[in-house]
Chains A and B, each alone.
Chain A
Amino acid sequence: MAVDTTLIAPQPSALDSYLKSHGLEESHSPHYQTLASQILHNLQYQHDWTSLRIHTHSALVQKALPRPLISGLPPHRIYVHPDDQVEELKRGADLTKGEPEREWVLPTHLAEKWSLRRFGEVFDAIEEEPFGEHSGKREDEDVERKTMAKKRRGGKRLLLATLGDDSTVVYYVVHDGIVKPRQN
């Protein structure tokens, strides 16, 4: 049987075409932007998140974020503070049916080294709750932001998304400050 010597490159993967279809911005290095896009892809298609958005600038301190962050709406609540959990259990509410809250996601790669300073910089640049695409004018946003502040029990939190070389993504909740653990 004759060997076919013509080499045909395989079709690009769904992720590859997704990454190529998104242009790069100038604010951050291409590495960070691709990383964010890949995490966003994972959230959208593996974890059914909706209303996803990549943030490059901080609305809180009016400058570029240390790296692009993602915000989005999970299909169900991914974090319930233990005190809220107790209250809801007392009320007899079903914890899985709670209204999902919009979350911050910090894209990272497993090979990276982080430090307390870098976590501090990220937390200093974000609000408690991120704003989606639906929020309209800036004025409304400001009003909304004020009402949102200090609303969450446990304060600021984000989801640390760590990408491995085999494109596995693991998600960890990181709190700013001392927040007692959940009793799963």
Chain B
Amino acid sequence: MPASNPPTAPDLPFPVFQVSSQVERYLLYDINTISWLRKTHNILGVLIGTLPQIPQQNIFLGLPLELQPEETRLLVEKGLAYTVNDLDRHTQDLASQTPDQIESIRADLYRDGMELARELERNKQEQTREALKKLRSNSSSTTNSDSTAGPDPQTQDSASETTLFDSPSTKEPTQTKPTINPKPWTITPTTSYPPLSRPPVPLFPVLPKVNPSSYALFAHLHGKGYFITPGIRFGCHFSVYPGDPLRFHSHFLAMSAEWDEEISLLDLVGGGRLGTGVKKGWLIGGVEEKEGEGGDGGDQAEKDKEKSGGAGVRTFCIEWGGM
């Protein structure tokens, strides 16, 4: 779809829905926003939607898209998005709908569903007409050729092929059924606005809670143009791709740490080995604390760390030495 229909920029800032105030999970429902984020901002998220009746189908997932807290935080800090408490907002909006509004929404959905069903029915009938026309012209041409020349095997073949799919009893159904009145389709909208109004932009954006060191590493790598997905599948915090994961293998398995956080050498050896086994590097990184910055004003340093998106991050890459 994106190739034929390139995503357009959504109205900025766009809302990101937090499941509830207690849960740090962020969802996006609009496919255009999702494609646009992937194309222009290297933000991937993870599709988590499955079919309600076949939840074990988990290879090709669809809407909604779950954003990592780090991704959401980055978008909010850049002023591209704002978070909305989905549960509160939805309950509030639904409660404020009048019965007339609800009725009109239902009527709209019924009308759209009917339109879709009619469209399908029209296409079906069109196809039947085409097939019958072909059948008739074929049969007339075969009779012609029978009288003039010998039988043409190709025409006969195609004629018999058509009759395989159309039983002779369904000839000229257009005359018998001139009006189309099929059962309307049931439409489940993927977004709730419209009909609900777009959630208002808060005056003071609420920043998603993130681990400072992992967010700093995320922002640092994102700032360098890398695409980042959750790394749990590979035994790390983030897997880092040099381009869109649909086109590239990942380069690094990334792990974040505080500047003074103790790391067991066995973890480094294990990580290096794990990465080398799948042709990736093991990347560790964190916010560098330079000498002289600490000491006075620990709170200030903490604040700066919170503010700076990926500034002052230092990284090291580990690969097997091959000996």
Contacts and interface: CB of A to CB of B under 8 A. Distances in A.
Interface residues of B, number: 39
A162 B314 contact: no
Contacts of B183: none
B259 A116 contact: yes
Interface size class, chain A: 35 or more
Interface string B255-297: 0011111111110110010011001110111101100000000
Given A108-B265, A116-B288, A181-B251, A172 B316 contact: no
Contacts of A162: 265, 269
B284 A177 contact: no
B323 A171 contact: yes
B315 A181 contact: no
B323 A116 contact: no
A180 B242 contact: yes
A180 B251 contact: yes
Contact of A181 (B252, B261, B289): B252
Contact of B317 (A117, A120, A178): A178
Nearest to B321: A171
Given A78-B321, A180-B242, A120 B280 contact: no
B275 to A, nearest CB: 7
Tell me which of B252, B261, B264, B316 has the highest count of chain A C-beta atoms within 10 A of its own C-beta.
B316
A55 B280 CA distance: 31
A47 B85 CA distance: 61
Contacts of A133: none
Nearest to A169: B323
A28 B206 CA distance: 51
A114 B315 CA distance: 14
A119 B286 CA distance: 12
Contacts of B319: 172-173, 175, 181-182
Nearest to A180: B251
A13 interface: no
A78 B268 contact: no
Contacts of A120: 259, 288, 314
A112 interface: yes
A47 B323 contact: yes
Contact of B316 (A78, A116, A181): A116
Contacts of B269: 110, 162, 170, 172
Contacts of A113: 262-265
B262 A181 contact: no
A76 to B, nearest CB: 10
B318 interface: yes
B284 A178 contact: no
Which 6 pairs, one residue from A and one from B, show the smallest C-beta to C-beta distance?
A171-B321, A181-B281, A113-B262, A175-B317, A172-B272, A173-B319
Interface of B: 221, 224, 242, 251-252, 257-266, 268-269, 272, 275-276, 279-281, 283-286, 288-289, 314-323
